[in-house]
């Protein structure tokens, strides 16, 4: 038993060997670290959404500069961040309107106005699709000074959403005071 562990540790310490390991959450693989805007971001956590009959619908992972079990720390953390959805069964695009409801539940009206451009962009992106298939992904990459890049299956979709409030609002949907799903919040915060 010691020999395989020693070999793994030795291999991970060699120059040029990538020691990054993927994390498997219920059969869905997430990188333990992603590179974004030139910086390595560790996986903070993953939450999984189940439908009414107990089947997994999608999962949401959050990456940031440092791991945090605190929603307020995660929200205030500077630097790039990523939210990524991975779909585990077909989901119609209009089913994603819960994102707008999540923003309304977690932001005062005056603050939610600052997210309108991003919400409209995301809505038009989703409205141009029938939905998501098993294995599809939707990523929101926040890049300070540039905005939030929306990507489907790894392909950026148009220009970044300039307002930083949009990404914060999307994060609040999952880790805010009134999260979409409290169990998902616990998973995203590493619990």
Residue pLDDT, tens place only, 119-151: 999 988 888 888 889 999 999 999 999 999 999
Q: Which of 47, 94, 52, 93 is nearest to 71 (CA)?
A: 47
Higher pLDDT, 33 or 112: 33
Structure tokens at 105: 């539940």
pLDDT digits (tens, 9 = 90+) for 86-104: 998 888 877 778 888 889 9
Out of 1-15, 95-109, 122-136, 170-184, least confident range = 1-15
- Residue boundaries of the structural domains of the chain: 19-188
Beta bridge partners of 30: 23
DSSP 84: E
CB atoms within 10 A of CB 175: 24
Give CA–CA dist 21/84, Å, rounded: 18
Residue 23 is inside which H or E element, if any?
A: strand 22-25
Q: Output the CA angle 95-103-111, nearest 5 degrees.
A: 150
Domain 19-188 maps to which CATH number in 3.40.50.10860, 1.10.645.10, 3.50.70.10, 3.40.50.150? 3.50.70.10
Contact 58, 88 (CB under 8 A): yes
For 190, counting Cβ atoms within 10 Å of its Cβ (0-12 exposed, 13-18 middle, 19+ buried), the class is middle
What is the percent of the chain where pLDDT is above 90? 59
Give CA–CA dist 46/23, Å, rounded: 10
Q: Which of 157, 135, 47, 29 is nearest to 91 (CA)?
A: 135
The yes-or-no verdict on residue 191 having pLDDT over 80 is no
Give CA–CA dist 166/189, Å, rounded: 20
Contact 19, 8 (CB under 8 A): no
Highest mean pLDDT among 43-57, 94-108, 146-160: 146-160
């Amino acid at each position: 038993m010691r020999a395989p562990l020693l070999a793994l540790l030795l291999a991970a310490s060699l120059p040029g060997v990538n020691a990054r390991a993927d994390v498997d959450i219920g059969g869905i693989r997430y990188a333990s670290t992603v590179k974004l805007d030139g910086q390595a971001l560790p996986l903070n956590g993953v939450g999984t959404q189940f439908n009414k009959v107990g089947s997994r619908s999608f999962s949401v992972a959050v990456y940031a500069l440092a791991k945090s079990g605190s929603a307020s720390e995660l929200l205030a953390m500077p630097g790039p961040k990523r939210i990524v959805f991975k779909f585990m069964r077909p989901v119609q695009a209009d089913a994603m309107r819960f994102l707008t409801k999540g923003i309304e539940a977690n932001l005062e009206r005056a603050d939610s106005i600052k997210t309108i451009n991003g919400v409209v962009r995301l809505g038009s992106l989703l409205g141009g699709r029938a939905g998501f298939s098993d294995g599809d992904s939707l990523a929101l990459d926040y890049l300070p000074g540039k905005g939030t890049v929306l990507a489907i299956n790894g392909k950026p979709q148009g220009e970044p959403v300039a307002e930083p409030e949009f990404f914060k609002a999307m994060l609040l949907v999952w880790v805010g005071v009134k999260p979409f799903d409290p169990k998902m919040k616990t998973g995203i915060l590493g619990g």
